[in-house]
Every structure is written in C-alpha cells, then in structure tokens.
C-alpha cells in the first residue's frame, strides 16, 4: 500500500529525523532512476550549454507529458499485476474522433474533448471487462484491443490525418502560469492519481489486487470491479494524451502514438513499480517518465543519431532494472 | 534395507523430527501414521533429498548416503509419490514417465517406440491399464496415480514412498491400488505407506510406525495392535489441559446464528448444519474431506455451488466473499501466505484492508491516523510482537502472521467467523493465545467455526463437532462424544461410512 511502498524494501520504521528520512529515501526503488536523472542532467549540461535553460527544461516536460500521462494509467494497471498494450491505439482513436467532431460536426473543443476522453475510458473498460469477467490474460486482451481502436480510427479517417483549425491549438501550444499547458495537465493527472492511490480506499484495493488477488477476494474486495476500473483509468489517461496531441498537431492522427505503450511501461518500471504488481508508487512513474524525456533530449543535444539512441535507451532500461533487482535481493 | 537412524530436523521455532529411527526392508509395506504435523512429510522429504537432516544418518544396505536432491535419491533407488502429483498435464503418459530421462536413438532424437515399449512392459508387470497416448490431464485421478507409480518404478526402484495415496480415490480404486502394491512387494520393492485411513493399514501393511509431534512413539507388526490402540498412540498426550474450559453452551436454547441447507458438490451428499450464537463449532475430517471447499462455497468463493443460507433468521444470498462480509460473515483462509496475507505490505495495511472504507472522512478520504489507531489497537489486543505497525508482514513469524490475519477479520466486526486451520504451523505459545481469543469471541456472542485437522484442538476447543468425509457430514458430535476415537472413526469411514 502507500506507506508499505513508501517505506521501501529495507526500512520499516517510520522515518525519524534527517538520517532516517534519508535512509528511507535511498531505500525506495525509484531512487536509482532519480539518481540517474540527476547525473544525466549534470552530464548533459556540461556537454551542451543550451540544455540547462528554462526553455529547454520546459520543453522537455511538454515532450514528456504524453508518455507521462499515459504512464499514470499504466501504473494503475501494473499495480494490479496487469499490463495494457492498447493505450497507443486509444490515443489514436481519441485523436481522430475528436478531430472529426470538431472538423466535421462542429462540436466545440471542450465537448469534443470530453466525448473523446470518455470514449477512451469506455474503450479501456472493454479490455477491463474481458480481463475481469473471464479472467483472460491482460496481455492477450489488450493485444487485441491494440488493433480494434486503431482500426476504427483508420476506418474513420481513411488513413489520413484529419486537420482542425489553428484556433484549437492552444492546449498543445500555450502557457499558463509560465508552464506549458500539457505540462500542467500532466501534473494535475499525477496529483489526482496520487490522491486516488494514497488517500482513497479504492487505491488500497488496487495495491491489494496486485499484492495477492486471492487474499483480496477473501478480504471482501470486489477485485473484478477494481480490474475493470484500472483499465478504464488507463483508457481515460490515454485519451487525455490523445486530446493534447490533437491540439498540438492541429489534426487527428490515426497513425500516431505507435509504440507509446512501451515507453509508458518503461516509465512505470523505471519508476520502481513491480511488474508483478502490488508494489510501486506514482511519484516513481513521474521520475521514470522524466528520465526517459531527459534521456531523449540529451541524446539529441549531444548529437547522437536516432538509431544509436534506441540502443542507448535499451541498455539504460536494462541496467536500471538490473540495479533494482540487485538492490531488492541484497536487502533481503 | 533402508535405515534412518536418529534423524533430527529443526525449523525455526519448531523441532519437526526428534531422534526418529525407522527401517524398511525390501518387499515390506511399512505404514506410517500420525496426526497432521506429526512429522511424516518432513521425514519423507528427508528421504527424497528435499530436506537434509540436522542430525542422524540415512543408510542403504548399511552404507551411509546423503541425497541432497530428488534426482540423487532416485539414483539411490528411493522414489516418492507425493499427494500432489508432479505430472505435466499436457504431456501424455509415456512422455511423463520418461520426462527428463528420455530414451534417445543413436541420432539423439527421441526414441518414442522404445519408450512406449518399456512403459507397456511396466504396465503389464503391475497389471495396470491406462492409455499411454492421451494427455494425462484427461486421465482419472487413479490413472494419473498409476502413471506416477510407473514413473517411479520404471528405472531402479527399491524403496517407494506413497504419501496419502488413497485420499482422493474411490473404494474400488483403492482396492486396485492395493493389488498394485502387492505386486510391487512381490517384485521386492519396499513401501512406506502414509495414510490417515487406519482400516487400510490393517489391510495392506506388514509393519506400522506411529509418529507424534516429531517423535517416534511406536513400531510393531500390524497384527500385534488394534485400531483403537493406534489411535490412542497417535493422539497420545493429555489433550484437555492446554485449553481453557469450555463454557458449556445450552444446547437448544441458543438461537442459530446461521443455518446452511442443501450445500452440495457434484457427486456428494447435501451438507446441512447450523451454527449457534456463542458456540465454537468444530469441523473435523481427513485430507480429501472437502472441508475447505465446502466453506469456500458457503461464502460464495465458488458461486456455482448452490446452497440455502438462513442468517439471523433471514434467508440471504452469498454470491461472493464481499457479500458474505457485508452480512458479517468472514472466512480466514488456511493458507496464510497463498490466500491470507499481502506479503509485501505492512502490518497496518494487512490489518485494515477489509475495513479501510470505513476509516474515511466525509469526502471518502482515508484517514491515516484512524488506520494507525485501529491497527495499533489490534496489534496490542492480539499481542502481535513487532516494533512498528509499518513493518513488512513477511518478516513476522508464522504465529504473528496468523494473528495479523485474525486481526483483519476482528476489525471488520463480523458476526460469524470461519477459521480454517487457525493454528497450523505456529508455535505452542501463539496457539494458546489464539485459543483464548476464540473462546472470548464465542463468549461475546459471535458464531465461531473452526475447521481443523489438529484433533486435540478440535476436542479441547469445540462445543460441537461436524465430522466430514468426501464432501458430506458423517456425524455431529457433542459433549463426551467429542473424542479422538469417535472423530477418527467417522472421518475414516467407520459406522457405515
């Protein structure tokens, strides 16, 4: 649960004093990623003076926002021990539907967004229904749901981007309180997820389902509902990401967000959430997403080719997971 | 000749085997009896190399051996068939028989013809009949057991251990199994035969040994003792002392808190019983009696099993454990680690998980202070030994873990609690504390059901006892009838069982 996860793998006492607090922080599984994030930022700022500028840093957070928001829903799913491969397809479906509602049906932006986001939640709930009701493996169900929404988006747009007017670009392009709006939305989504996971009973149940499903059932938790919910949440956050993307690109993109599910999973895992469920923290996911974003940005800045970047990203993911495993083993 | 000399095996907080010496001759059937937890399984695991003895030695034909894994003990000619079969369900019989020791052709490919032939010969030798070419998942339990027996005996096998081989067989299948054992005997195989069904022992065994609390208390020829003598040796100790005195509930005066009617598994009789307010109802039975399954079905864990339930006089539906809990019926699972605890979570989280929805403010937000108050209260009440309620529950001892689970259900304010093996694998001190607590609960007017394989516990604690066998209730015992002889009699199928 919240405090179980927060207390990390080695320290179980309530942190007292600075030393205790420091120890508890170091023991947290996402600490590795946090250190990596800092080291990466320091190194890059030496190699390119343009890195450590407000503009660039804000730019990174905007670039990260899509993956970050999707990773929030993915955290819910992975905490229950599941996986959601359908999020990229839901981004695309939400994006095309929203653009269609604006361009072809004359919906106002807010209404189109609302419908698209709720539609995303429902699409996620479809996966959740099959997973919860028939106990089908999440990886198979969401693999199928990777195809269906994507296909529907392609049918609807005939495979072409569906443009919308420039005036609808404010969400993707404007700033509020000095922050890019996508960054702001991402922070709100993370804050809401933090609240749900740590302060609502349902958040406890999410951890419980992943921690021990049989025990959760016998403890009177309606695990099927929880499972349905987490996939709906995942579809919901994916559609929010789709909304931002549509506004930023000024078009509904049926071919967008291919492979984004893997980035989202990577962010969750880098954030220290156990892929088997039951353990993890939403703040870790934010760190994981930022790490991926900074990595992209810094590899660009030092002029590494996109091909090499993939190799480096893969290696870093592998090392991070290995360190996490070793730390967990040694703390036993 | 297989000899175990002065074997001692300790686990943290418990001596599982204490200076046990047993021997097994070729061509002999040696029955091993004892209550659950007496040490039979531990002893067999030492034979198979799963565990190593802390003290003592293992000799085959006078030569000391030290198997450290199953493969090694197999090479020494010792094979064990556990209750849980180790077959791969999707492979067919001969593939399972030769799994990991396949016969190959000169080219290195599998020689299925040779393997089939060898398997066929083994079947003929033991006069067995089952299809070699269909997935073992499609075979009956008895046929799967036959596959196990062939698998165990097809290569070198001088000593065979059968762990509760009859627990899940029908009487006819048991008869057939005994014929196979006779043939193995004739082939010079020595068998350890572990069973709770005493009448079977008199039918098949030559020698019988009794283990009790890890100690070897008796060995003799089966003809030299009676069933009653064996039972008293198994139960042995004075059982009433460790328990607080029973309250002596007035039999009919107390209203039933719950009546269960017509709970029925396919192929079994109907189960009907009632639980009275303020009593401790025991549920006794042997392995395979379907006690756990029955009560899981009762609380709706398996909604496909139909039943009628009257709770506090009103008919209710129990379609899920959630629904049961909303009515105030809680089930504490027998397997702490698998179905009870959330191992990665803190003690606090484990205690409050069923209650957390009530520990909220008006906005539905969980109040950590309330959580802490509640968990601290139960840590104190249950005397859970820990430095902090945030300690991970996996670090506690078995007894303290069990108390955490009990605390979870006490916190949820249930009116009826079903305890499945509440003291399995925990030390004597913690046991006594749990007994006192169970009696307190009953005294407060709760209905308390205790499913237990620990006979002294059932006898010392319970006001009434249901004895189950093969998914039906064979007897309801009260008062002086609650004794080990009667329970064993009905549980093992005596009196028209």
ipTM comes to 0.85
Best to test chain B binding among A217, A219, A277 (most B CBs inside 10 Å): A219
pLDDT of A61 higher than 80: yes
Q: How confident is the model at residue A13 (pLDDT cuts 50, 70, 90)?
A: very low
State residue A184's pLDDT score: 96
Is the pLDDT at A328 greater than 70? The verdict is yes
Q: From the candidates B346, B372, B384, which should be mutated to test the interface with A, based on the most A CB atoms within 10 A? A: B346
pLDDT at residue A233 greater than cutoff 90: yes
- Binary contact (B364, A201; C-beta < 8 A): yes
- Does the beta-carbon distance from B392 to A222 stay under 8 Å? no
Provide CATH code, domain A31-330: 1.10.3470
Which residues of chain A make contact with B400, given a CB cutoff of 8 A?
Answer: none
Chain B residues within 8 A of A28 when measuring between CB atoms: none
Whole-angstrom Cα distance, residue A287 to residue A268? 9
pLDDT value, residue A3: 44
Query: Which domains, and CATH codes, for chain B?
Result: 2-235 (3.40.50.300), 256-491 (3.40.50.300)
Residue B178 has pLDDT above 80, yes or no: yes
Q: Residue B316: what pLDDT?
A: 92
Tokens found for residue B190: 């020595």
A238 phi, psi to nearest 5 deg: -60, -40
What is the helix (H) or strand (E) element at residue B368, kind and residue range?
Answer: helix B368-381
Chain A nearest-CA residue for B368: A199
The confidence score (pLDDT) of residue A278 equals 92
What's residue A44's pLDDT? 86
B366 contacts A220? CB cut-off 8 A: no
B199 touches chain A (CB under 8 A): no
CA distance, residue B406 to nearest chain A CA (Å): 11
Residue B240 pLDDT: 41
Q: What is the mean pLDDT of residues B93-106?
A: 88
pLDDT at A4 over 50: no
pLDDT digits (tens, 9 = 90+) for A180-195: 999 999 999 999 999 9
For A213-222, how does the pLDDT look when each residue is reduced to its tens digit (9 = 90+)?
999 999 999 9
Q: Which residues of A touch B322 (CB under 8 A)?
A: 220-222
Q: How confident is the model over B265-305, as pLDDT tens digits?
A: 877 788 899 998 888 999 998 877 888 989 999 999 988 88
Neighbours of A296 (CB within 10 A): 18
* CA atoms of B404 and B396, how far apart (whole Å): 10
Read off the pLDDT band of B239 (50, 70, 90): very low
Nearest CA to A164 among A255, A62, A249?
A249
Which pLDDT value is given to residue B164? 84
A129-133, A266-270, B8-12: least confidently modelled range: B8-12
- The answer to whether A7 faces chain B, any CB pair under 8 Å, is yes
Determine the average pLDDT of the residues in A127-140: 95
pLDDT, residue B400, reads: 87
How many Å apart are CA B370 and CA B195, to the nearest integer?
50
A16 interfaces chain B, CB cutoff of 8 Å: no
pLDDT in tens, B184-229: 999 999 999 988 777 788 889 999 999 888 889 999 998 888 877 8
Q: How far apart are CA B246 and CA A294, in angstroms?
A: 69
Q: Do B339 and A214 touch (CB under 8 A)?
A: yes
Residue B286's pLDDT is what?
80
What's the pLDDT at A84? 97
Find, in chain A, the residue whose alpha carbon is nearest to that of B300. Answer: A218
Are A220 and B322 inside 8 Å of each other by CB? Answer: yes
pLDDT at A17 over 80: no
Assess B302–A contact: CB distance below 8 Å, yes or no: no
The residue assigned the tokens 């003990």 is: B73
pLDDT-derived band at A1, boundaries 50, 70, 90: very low
**Domain map (residue ranges) of chain A:** 31-330
pLDDT at A9 over 50: no
Percent of chain B with pLDDT over 70: 94
A14-28, A36-50, A274-288, B403-417: range with lowest mean pLDDT: A14-28
More confident residue, B266 or B88: B88
Phi (first) and psi of residue A39, to 5 degrees:
-60, -45
- Give the chain A residue nearest B335 (alpha carbons): A215
Of the two residues B246 and B265, the one the predictor is more confident about is: B265
Considering only CB atoms, which chain B residues are within 8 Å of A222?
320, 322
Q: Which of A205, A212, A214 comes nearest B343 by C-beta?
A: A212
Predicted confidence at residue B174, as pLDDT, reads 85
In this prediction, residue A288 carries a pLDDT of 94
Distance from CA of B304 to the nearest CA of A (A): 15
Nearest CA in chain B to A218: B321
Nearest CA in chain A to B394: A332
What average pLDDT does chain B have?
A: 86
Percent of chain B topping pLDDT 90: 33
Residues of B in Cβ contact (< 8 Å) with A275: none
User: pLDDT tens for residues B135-170?
Assistant: 988 888 888 999 999 998 888 888 999 988 887 777
Say which residue the tokens 């009905």 belong to.
B490
CB contact A300 to B (< 8 Å): no
Question: Are residues A63 and A293 in contact, defined by beta-carbon separation less than 8 angstroms?
Answer: yes
Q: Which of A284-293, B53-62, B250-259 has the lowest mean pLDDT?
A: B250-259
Q: Which of B265, B308, B306 is nearest to B288 (CA)?
A: B265
pLDDT at B238 over 50: no
- Which stretch of DSSP H or E encloses residue A130? helix A109-134
Q: How far is CA B20 from CA B6, B17, B119, B194, B477, in A?
A: 5, 7, 37, 16, 35
- Given this model, what pLDDT does residue A10 score? 34
Between residues 404 and 443 of chain B, which touch chain A (CB distance below 8 Å)? 408, 412
Q: Is B67 helix (H, G, I), strand (E, B) or coil?
A: coil
Give the tokens for residue A21: 């607090």
Query: Taking CB atoms and an 8 Å limit, are A212 and B339 in contact across chains?
Result: yes
With CB atoms and an 8 Å threshold, state whether B353 touches A208.
yes
Contact A208 B341 (CB under 8 A): no
pLDDT of residue A24: 79
| DSSP annotation of B427 | -
**pLDDT top residue among B238 and B229:** B229
Task: Indicate the burial class of A300 (C-beta count within 10 angstroms; 0-12, 13-18, 19 or more).
Answer: middle
Tell me, what's the pLDDT at B249?
A: 56
Which chain A residues touch B326 with a CB distance below 8 Å?
Answer: 220
What average pLDDT does chain A have? 89
Percentage of chain A lying above the pLDDT 90 cut: 65
Residue A6 confidence class, pLDDT cut points 50, 70, 90: very low
**Whose CA is closest to B431, among B394, B468, B456, B463?**
B456
For residue A217, list chain B residues with Cβ-Cβ distance below 8 A: 301, 320-321
Which residues of B fall within a CB distance of 8 Å from A201? Answer: 356-357, 360, 364, 366
Of the pLDDT bands very low, low, confident and very high (cuts 50, 70, 90), residue B495 is: low
pLDDT digit string, tens, across residues B360-401: 898 889 999 999 999 999 999 888 888 888 988 988 877 889
- Summarised one tens digit per residue, pLDDT across range A247-299 is 999 999 999 889 899 999 999 999 989 999 999 999 999 999 999 999 988 88
Contact B321 A7 (CB under 8 A): no
Residues in B closer than 8 angstroms to A14, CB to CB, are 388, 390
Give residue-wise pLDDT tens across range A136-183. 999 999 999 999 999 999 999 999 999 998 888 888 888 998 899 999
Write down the pLDDT at residue B247: 63
pLDDT of residue B253: 54
Helix (H/G/I), strand (E/B), else coil: B478: strand
Number of Cβ within a 10 Å radius of residue B130: 17
Residue A125 has pLDDT above 70, yes or no: yes
* Pick among A220, A328, A331 to test the B interface (most B CBs inside 10 A): A220
């Amino acid at each position: 649960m919240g405090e179980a996860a927060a207390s990390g793998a080695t320290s179980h006492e309530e942190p007292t004093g600075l030393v205790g607090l420091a120890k508890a922080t170091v023991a947290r599984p996402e600490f590795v990623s946090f250190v990596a994030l800092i080291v990466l930022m320091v190194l890059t700022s030496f190699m390119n003076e343009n890195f450590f500028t407000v503009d660039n840093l804000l730019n990174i957070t905007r670039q990260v926002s899509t993956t970050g928001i999707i990773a929030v829903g993915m955290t819910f799913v992975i905490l229950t021990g599941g996986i959601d491969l359908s999020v990229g397809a839901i981004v695309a479906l939400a994006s095309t539907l929203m653009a269609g509602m604006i361009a072809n049906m004359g919906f106002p932006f807010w209404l189109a967004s609302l419908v698209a986001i709720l539609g995303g939640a429902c699409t996620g709930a479809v996966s959740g229904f099959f997973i919860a009701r028939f106990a089908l493996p999440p990886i198979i169900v969401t693999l199928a749901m990777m195809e269906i929404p994507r296909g529907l988006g392609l049918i609807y747009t005939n495979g072409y981007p569906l443009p919308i007017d420039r005036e609808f670009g404010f969400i993707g392009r404007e700033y509020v309180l000095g922050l890019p709006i996508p960054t702001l939305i991402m922070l709100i989504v993370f804050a809401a997820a933090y609240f749900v996971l740590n302060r609502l009973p349902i958040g406890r149940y999410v951890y419980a389902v992943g921690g021990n499903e049989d025990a959760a059932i016998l403890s009177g938790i309606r695990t099927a509902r929880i499972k349905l919910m987490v996939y709906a949440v995942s579809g919901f956050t994916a559609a929010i990401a789709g909304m931002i993307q549509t506004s930023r690109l000024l078009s509904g993109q049926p071919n967008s967000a291919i492979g984004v599910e893997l980035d989202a999973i990577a962010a969750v895992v880098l954030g220290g959430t156990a892929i088997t469920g039951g353990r993890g923290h939403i703040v870790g996911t934010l760190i994981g997403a930022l790490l991926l974003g900074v990595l992209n940005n810094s590899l660009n800045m030092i002029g590494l080719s996109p091909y090499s970047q993939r190799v480096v990203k893969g290696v870093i993911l592998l090392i991070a997971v290995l360190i996490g495993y070793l730390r967990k083993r040694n703390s036993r | 000749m297989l000899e175990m000399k002065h074997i001692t095996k300790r686990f943290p907080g418990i001596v599982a085997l204490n200076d046990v010496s047993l021997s097994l001759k070729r061509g002999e059937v040696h029955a091993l009896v004892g209550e659950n937890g007496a040490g039979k399984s531990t002893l067999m695991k030492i034979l198979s190399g799963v565990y190593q003895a802390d003290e003592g030695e293992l000799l085959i034909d006078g030569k000391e051996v030290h198997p450290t894994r199953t493969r090694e003990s197999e090479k020494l000619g010792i094979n064990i068939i556990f209750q849980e079969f180790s077959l791969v369900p999707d492979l067919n019989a001969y593939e399972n028989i030769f799994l990991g020791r396949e016969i190959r052709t000169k080219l290195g490919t599998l020689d299925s013809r040779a393997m089939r032939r060898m398997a066929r010969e083994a079947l003929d030798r033991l006069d067995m009949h089952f299809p070699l070419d269909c997935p073992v998942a499609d075979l009956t339990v008895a046929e799967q057991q036959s596959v196990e027996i062939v698998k165990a005996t097809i290569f070198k096998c001088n000593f065979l251990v059968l762990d509760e081989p009859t627990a899940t067989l029908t009487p006819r299948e048991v008869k057939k199994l005994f014929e196979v054992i006779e043939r193995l005997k004739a082939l010079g195989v020595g068998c350890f035969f572990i069973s709770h069904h005493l009448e079977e022992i008199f039918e098949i065994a030559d020698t019988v040994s009794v283990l009790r609390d890890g100690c070897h208390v008796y060995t003799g020829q089966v003809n030299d003792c009676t069933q009653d003598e064996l039972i008293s040796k198994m139960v042995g100790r004075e059982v009433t002392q460790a328990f607080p005195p029973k309250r002596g509930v007035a039999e009919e005066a107390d209203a039933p808190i719950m009546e269960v009617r017509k709970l029925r598994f396919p192929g079994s009789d109907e189960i009907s019983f009632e639980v009275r307010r303020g009593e401790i109802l025991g549920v006794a039975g042997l392995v395979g009696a379907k006690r756990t399954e029955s009560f899981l079905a009762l609380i709706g864990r398996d909604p496909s099993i139909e039943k009628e339930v009257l709770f506090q006089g009103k008919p209710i539906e129990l379609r899920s454990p959630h629904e049961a809990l909303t009515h105030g019926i809680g089930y504490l699972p027998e397997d702490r680690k698998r179905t009870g605890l959330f191992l990665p979570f803190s003690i606090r989280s484990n205690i409050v998980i069923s209650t957390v929805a009530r520990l909220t403010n008006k906005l539905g937000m969980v109040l950590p202070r309330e959580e802490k108050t509640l968990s601290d209260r139960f840590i104190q009440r249950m005397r859970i030994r820990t430095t902090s309620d945030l300690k991970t529950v996996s670090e506690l001892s078995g007894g303290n873990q069990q108390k955490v689970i009990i605390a979870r259900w006490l916190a949820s304010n249930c009116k009826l609690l079903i305890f499945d093996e509440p003291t399995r694998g925990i030390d004597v001190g913690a046991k006594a504390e749990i007994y006192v607590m169970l009696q307190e609960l009953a005294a407060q007017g709760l209905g308390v059901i205790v499913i237990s394989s620990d006979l002294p516990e059932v006898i010392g604690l319970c006001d009434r006892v249901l004895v189950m066998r093969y998914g039906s209730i064979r007897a309801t015992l009260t008062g002086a009838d609650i004794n080990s002889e009667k329970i064993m009699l009905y549980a093992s199928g005596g009196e028209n069982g």
